[in-house]
Amino acid sequence: MQIDAFPRVALAHLPTPLEHMPRLTEHLGGPDIFVKRDDCTGLATGGNKTRKLEFSMGEAMSRGADTIITVGAIQSNHVRQTAAAACKLEMACEVLLEHRVGHPSETYTSSGNVLLDRIFAANLREYPGGTNFDAAMAMVADEVSANGGTPYIVPGGASNSVGALGYVGCGIELLQQFNEQGLAIDHLVTATGSAGTHAGLAVGIRGSGSDLPILGFGVNAAQDVQEERVYSLASETAELVDAPGCVRREDIVADCNYIGSGYGVPTAAMNEAVLMLARLEGLLFDPVYSGKALAGMIDYVRQGRFEKGQKIVFLHTGGSAGLFAYADTLRL
């Protein structure tokens, strides 16, 4: 697999650290738990989208774009990082924000990632949940073109085969770190939503010849829908990097039992997990993605599904800026 052949811009601090979490390990009394610190990618408080944007923005620049168009929920971590990348690369940024959470508070709609979007001078357009965003982004692109600009559309989460290249690279990076640190890892755990992170990891790890199990904890869709979404993108990405067929359907596993009542809606288990990691390891996780995935991992340990003597890596996808938007709903 060769990802260096694709257009790319340097946005992330790489490689990100791989750290042991001794207090969490002791507290849960199960496997040794490590964290892959992709909250440390550096751009606009960091997060997993920065790896993807290195390739998305690289392609945009190779096509002469001067305006980035993207979409996300009101508290989108992706939008925040995209807006920052556009600033860094002297581009305009048009953002379509989806009202995906019902009855949001004023705190939710004005602080956290939204505040940072505005600091980065993104032009925010708000849309109701369920909007056809492919059509809506195409209309914005036509508007930009009519005004003399050159648009480039980055899909939600930068989750297409171009963006997923960032996590092909992360999968390769992880295997190198395991080797350097002499670690035999039994499971890799990640949040899975728009699919690019999960799909890219699968290609990077399977394409490198490793059979390391990857477990995604879903945040917004039923298991069958999420697994098919990830597998489809993984297959497309594998073709792009000239490793067709390296990911099998059975390699893609998503447990979607920790979503609660909906995307972005807090759960008691998420609340417990976020506070546990803050107070045991001094780490901040977000309420929407990594917090719910942490809740799933912790429950697996408590059930004995991850066992003492095993080694587990949790991929920290960032997003702590979103905590401010949930200040009035987190139970502290």
- Known catalytic residues are 76
Euclidean distance between CA atoms 208 and 205, whole angstroms: 5
Question: Three-class SS string for the chain?
Answer: CCCCCCCCCCCCCCCCCEEECHHHHHHHCCCEEEEEEHHHCCHHHCCCHHHHHHHHHHHHHHCCCCEEEEEEECCCHHHHHHHHHHHHCCCEEEEEEEECCCCCCHHHHHCCHHHHHHHCCCEEEEEECCCCHHHHHHHHHHHHHHCCCCEEEECHHHCCHHHHHHHHHHHHHHHHHHHHHCCCCCEEEEEECCCHHHHHHHHHHHCCCCCCCEEEEECCCCHHHHHHHHHHHHHHHHHHCCCCCCCCHHHCEEECCCCCCCCCCCCHHHHHHHHHHHHHHCCCCCCCCHHHHHHHHHHHHHHCCCCCCCEEEEEECCCHHHHHHHCCCCCC
Euclidean distance between CA atoms 93 and 150, whole angstroms: 12
Question: Which amino acid, residue 13?
Answer: H
Question: Which amino acid, residue 124?
Answer: L
Place of tokens 């979103």: 322
Contact at 8 Å (CB) between 258 and 289? Answer: no
Place of tokens 């699919």: 195
Place of tokens 């369920």: 130
Euclidean distance between CA atoms 139 and 160, whole angstroms: 20
